[in-house]
Amino acid sequence: MRSLINILDLSTGEIDELIAVAEDIIADPAKYSEACRGKKLATLFFEPSTRTRLSFEAAMYELGGNVLSVSSGASSSAAKGESVADTAKTVSCYADIIAMRHPKEGAPYVASVNASIPVINAGDGGHNHPTQTLADLLTIHREKGRFENLTVGLCGDLKFGRTVHSLIEAMSRYEGVRFVLISPEELKVPSYVKKDVLARNGIPYVQTEDMESVMPELDILYMTRVQRERFFNEEDYLRLKDSYILTPKKLQNARTDLSIMHPLPRVNEISVAIDDDPRACYFKQVLNGKYMRMALILKLLKEAGR
Ligand code: NCD
């Protein structure tokens, strides 16, 4: 059974196909409005979410399908001690496809090997978030018209930020991509990402704490929130939370065609004064995420023969 656990489960060719389908949905949504009639998506969210869960649900409704939803661990049998494996087997009896978010790294993978329907990882702990990456990739494609030859700045919590890890994996497959990793010492990209993804593929990168000095080089600036829920103590969070706040002044030396991205939710990392800057793409990412999730649901249901 084909699932989506890691962004590398999709080839670059398949990503191109998903983008083409998403563009077709954008151009002619009516054509897809009955595509999933009678099908059910189960959204199993054991961690807070606004965008990802609602975007999966909106995606399924716009395909004419239905949604079954668990919106917190506390309201499900997980609170009684049910295993992820048993939950996956159970939900396979009710639904055609699952989107799962879980605080434990690897939980959606465990679900996928126990379910008899496709499972989509909607975020597992500080590990991966492949469907946010699909949203990011459609945004980059629409803004830049290419994935190759881009300098991608990633800023903020690069240690716990799962969207960062998945985006690095995805972008590492394109020619001429270079990363500028901007974070405090304590929140650097984990060494497994540097070793297994960047070094293994010979991808050039620099690490810095200083956002302004690298600003002129960037084609993309991907800001992230400091992931409070993954910290072991509140003191460290409070010390690090406002490490980077993007303001109009800090953009003075930025390229005129910079794309400013953020997976959201934003806390303080981007001043609201930037929202009207034509380079701000973060609300476009939200919309693009819905279209890519529609394309993904269609693909996985088709491959599962459902
Ligand atoms: C991200 C996540 O859940 O990892 N949010 C999202 O799904 N768009 C980023 C975050 O929570 O900071």
Atom 7 of ligand 1, nearest CA residue: 52
| Per-residue pLDDT tens digits for 114-156 | 999 999 999 999 999 999 999 999 999 999 999 999 999 999 9
Atom 1 of ligand 1, nearest CA residue: 263
Cα atoms in the Cβ-side hemisphere of radius 13 Å centred on 218:
28
CA distances from 224 to 117, 237, 239, 269 (A): 32, 14, 16, 7
User: With 90 as the cut, is the pLDDT of residue 212 above it?
Assistant: yes
pLDDT category, 74, cuts 50, 70, 90? confident
Please identify, in words, the CATH class of the domain defined by 130-285.
Answer: alpha beta
Q: Ligand 1 centre and the CA of 263: distance in Å?
A: 6
Domain span(s) for CATH 3.40.50.1370 in the chain: 7-128+287-303, 130-285
Fold category of 7-128+287-303 in CATH: Rossmann fold (3.40.50)
Dihedrals phi, psi of 147, to nearest 5 degrees? -110, -15
Mean pLDDT, rounded, for 263-276: 97
- Can you tell me which atom of ligand 1 is nearest the CA of 162? 4
Atom 12 of ligand 1, nearest CA residue: 225
User: With 90 as the cut, is the pLDDT of residue 75 above it?
Assistant: no
pLDDT category, 283, cuts 50, 70, 90? very high
Mean pLDDT, rounded, for 27-40: 98
Q: Ligand 1 centre and the CA of 226: distance in Å?
A: 10
Question: Residues with Cβ within 6 A of ligand 1?
Answer: 51-52, 123, 129, 132, 162-163, 225, 263-265
3-state secondary structure the chain: CCCECCHHHCCHHHHHHHHHHHHHHHHCHHHHCCCCCCCEEEEEECCCCCHHHHHHHHHHHHCCCEEEEECCHHHCHHHHCCCHHHHHHHHCCCCCEEEEEECCCCHHHHHHHHCCCCEEEEEECCCECHHHHHHHHHHHHHHHCCCCCCEEEEECCCCCCHHHHHHHHHHCCCCCCEEEEECCHHHCCCHHHHHHHHHCCCCCEEEECCHHHHHHHCCEEEECCCCHHHCCCHHHHHHHCCCCCECHHHHCCCCCCCEEECCCCCCCCECHHHCCCCCECHHHHHHHHHHHHHHHHHHHHHHCCC
Atom 11 of ligand 1, nearest CA residue: 265
Q: Ligand 1 centre and the CA of 277: distance in Å?
A: 22
Query: How far is residue 220's CA from residue 151's CA, in Å, rounded to a whole number?
Result: 7
User: With 90 as the cut, is the pLDDT of residue 95 above it?
Assistant: yes
pLDDT category, 79, cuts 50, 70, 90? confident
Q: Which of 52, 167, 287 for mutating ligand 1's site (highest number of atoms within 8 Å of CB)?
A: 52
Between 130-144 and 12-27, two packed helices, what is the crossing angle to 10 degrees?
70
Mean pLDDT, rounded, for 42-68: 96
Mean pLDDT, rounded, for 176-204: 98
Cut 0.95: pTM above it: yes
Q: Which of 46, 50, 57, 129 for mutating ligand 1's site (highest number of atoms within 8 Å of CB)?
A: 129
Query: How far is residue 155's CA from residue 273's CA, in Å, rounded to a whole number?
Result: 19
- Can you tell me which atom of ligand 1 is nearest the CA of 122? 7
Q: Quick one: tokens of 206?
A: 């620099």
pLDDT category, 303, cuts 50, 70, 90? very high
Query: How far is residue 290's CA from residue 132's CA, in Å, rounded to a whole number?
Result: 10
User: With 90 as the cut, is the pLDDT of residue 77 above it?
Assistant: no
Average pLDDT, the chain: 97
pLDDT category, 227, cuts 50, 70, 90? very high
pLDDT at 127: 97
Q: Ligand 1 centre and the CA of 104: distance in Å?
A: 15
